[in-house]
Each structure stands twice: as C-alpha cells, then as structure tokens.
Homo-oligomer: A and B are copies of this chain.
C-alpha cells in the first residue's frame, strides 16, 4: 500500500441547506479528500490552520490515521467559508470567504513525506501546485484539481501545472472552460492535449467520466463512465467532489498499479465516497464509515449500472 501526500485547504464551513444549518463545521477540500482517502491508504495532508483549529478537529483526522505533520499551525484564524444551497442544490451560493491564514499559504512538504508515492494537488494557486510537486520528489502518480478562478485569472500558471499532472479531476464547467469548447468530449480532448494522461470529469448527480490520452498508461483511449447514486435526500453537497477525489486516489494508492481496471474501479470508489459525503453535513458521514459499508455501496453502484 502506497501513501498519499495531499495539499489543499483545511477549513471551517458555515452551511445552510433545506435540511438545516451548521456553523464552523470542519471542512476544506483537503479535509474531505483526506478523510475519504483514509479508508484506502495513509494520507499526509499539507496545509495550514489557525489557533482555532483545535484538538477536536485534529482528532477527527487522527482517528482516521491521517498524519498531521504537514499541517502547519500559525497565528490567526483558520480559513472560513460560508454558503447555502437551495432548489436542486447543484450550486452553492457563497455568503463569505474569509481566507485568513490560508491567504499566505506556502506549502512545505515534511522531509519524511517527500517519498510519498501518490500526490494529490488540491485546488490551490497553480504555481503552488508546481512547487509542491517539486518538493514531493518521490511521487510517481500526480493527481490534481483546479477551479474556474485559476482558469480565468492565472491561465499561464495553470498551463504549467497541467503539464505535471498525470490525472486531472475537474467538473463539466471547468473542463469546458479549459478546453474552450461547449462539447464535453471535445473539451476533454483539448484538456488532455495540455498535459494530463487522464481526465476525470465529474458530472455531479450524473456521475463521472474518465477520458484518456492516446497511449496513456498503455490502455487505449476509450472513456469509462461511473454513476452517481440517485439520492432522494442530499443533506449537504459540500465536499462531494473532494470526497470523489479521495476515493479515486485512495483506491489507486491501495492497489499500487495503475491499470485500466484499477482506474475504472477507482471511478466507482470515487462515486461511492462522494455519495456518502452528501448524506450528512460537512465531513460527518466520512468520519465513521467501515470498509464493509464502502464495499456494500460499491456493490449497489455495480448493480445500478451492470447488466446481468
């Protein structure tokens, strides 16, 4: 089993949905990623928190075996995001974004973690992503994320970051924006031409598709689609995409080998972890799962899509 180095945000979220409201709930893309991936491999987040990130928050991660040596604590407050969801709950309305200590984040990979075999570059400034990749000297598979803000405002830096990613995980709108094409499969081909060997496009409630660059991983370019679970009670969609990434990278790390079959299963485990994440507020559902529950849901995903 390989270890995963992951960079991104650890944060507090204040969230309102039709199902209720939580204040200063443990969140952040790297937190969701780490908890989801922790069921498959050892996870080593690299991030920054403030004085208000206490034993309670650390305990949630420690209990899942997450290594906290790369989480720097500095004076000030932790990143705090506030948002709400209504209607189809497909999009958050942001109420506030207090970057706080995250604003000047300079990721430092602890020397003992530089040999981690898997690297996940969460959604941070592309130049920082490149810097982390340089520090993570032992990484043999680099997965990454980005968002519209970087696509629109730091295109040159993002182009450099895409060159160092083996697998990019983004959503439909981000793929269309990077590829500058309204047709998703065409946009995917254009994104792949920028560097990544594989591109995972997350379609929210419709699942996700992985596209391959010709010859990547020696497995041909036929795409593969994994479903999302039709859920009649999505309590809080925050972190679904990061949890997908955690399940995806986590499963690959647990298998070591990156083959067409492990990538396909990783897509399913991504969907599985995303489906758990949205069943309760924040990271609550991701804190106390068992491998049996994960395998059970994997079977539900299989039955949802497989012919007899």
Q: A: which residues have CB within 8 A of B?
A: 87-89, 176, 182-186, 188-189, 203, 205-207, 209, 211, 222-227, 230-234, 261, 264-265, 268, 300, 302-308
Known A182-B87, A230-B184; judge A305-B308 contact (CB<8 A).
no
**In the complex where A206-B206, A206-B207, A207-B206 touch, is A231 in contact with B305 (Cβ < 8 A)?**
no
Contact B264 A304 (CB under 8 A): no
Question: What are 17 A-B contacts defined by CB distance under 8 Å?
Answer: A87-B182, A89-B182, A183-B234, A185-B230, A185-B231, A185-B232, A203-B206, A206-B207, A222-B304, A223-B230, A223-B304, A225-B304, A227-B305, A261-B308, A264-B307, A264-B308, A265-B307
Chain B positions within 8 Å of A206 at CB level: 203, 206-207
Shortest CB-to-CB span from A80 to chain B, Å, is 28
Interface pair B189/A232, CB less than 8 Å apart? yes
- Across chains A and B, which 5 residue pairs bring their CB atoms closest together, nearest first? A206-B206, A185-B230, A185-B232, A88-B182, A87-B182
B-chain residues with CB within 8 Å of residue A211 when the two chains form the complex: 230
List 9 other contacts, CB 8 Å, given A89-B183, A188-B230, A223-B304. A183-B232, A186-B232, A186-B233, A206-B206, A222-B300, A225-B227, A225-B305, A264-B307, A306-B306
When chains A and B are docked, how far (Å) is the Cα of A261 from the Cα of B306? 10
Q: Across the interface, which residues of B come within 8 angstroms of A184, CB to CB?
A: 205, 230
Task: Tell me the minimal C-beta distance from A86 to chain B in angstroms.
Answer: 8
CA distance A226 to B207 in the complex (A): 11
Which B residue's beta carbon lies closest to that of A260?
A: B308
Which of B176, B189, B209, B302 meets A307, CB within 8 Å? B302
**Nearest Cβ in chain B — how far from A292, in angstroms?**
19
With a CB–CB cut-off of 8 A, which chain B residues contact A188? 230
Which residues of the partner chain B approach A234 to less than 8 Å between Cβ atoms? 183
Contact B307 A261 (CB under 8 A): yes
Chain B residues whose C-beta falls within 8 Å of the C-beta of A189 in the assembled complex: 232
In the complex, A176→B206 CA distance in Å? 15
Contacts of A222 in B (CB 8 A): 300, 303-304
* Complex CA–CA separation, A9 to B305 (angstroms): 33
**Beta-carbon nearest neighbor of A227 in chain B:** B225
Residues of B within 8 A of A305 (CB): 224-227, 305-306
A226 surroundings in chain B (CB, below 8 A): 305
A304 interface neighbour in B89, B224, B230, B302, Cβ under 8 Å? B224
Shortest A190–chain B CB gap in Å is 10
The verdict on A207 contacting B182 (CB below 8 Å), with A261-B307, A261-B308 known, is no
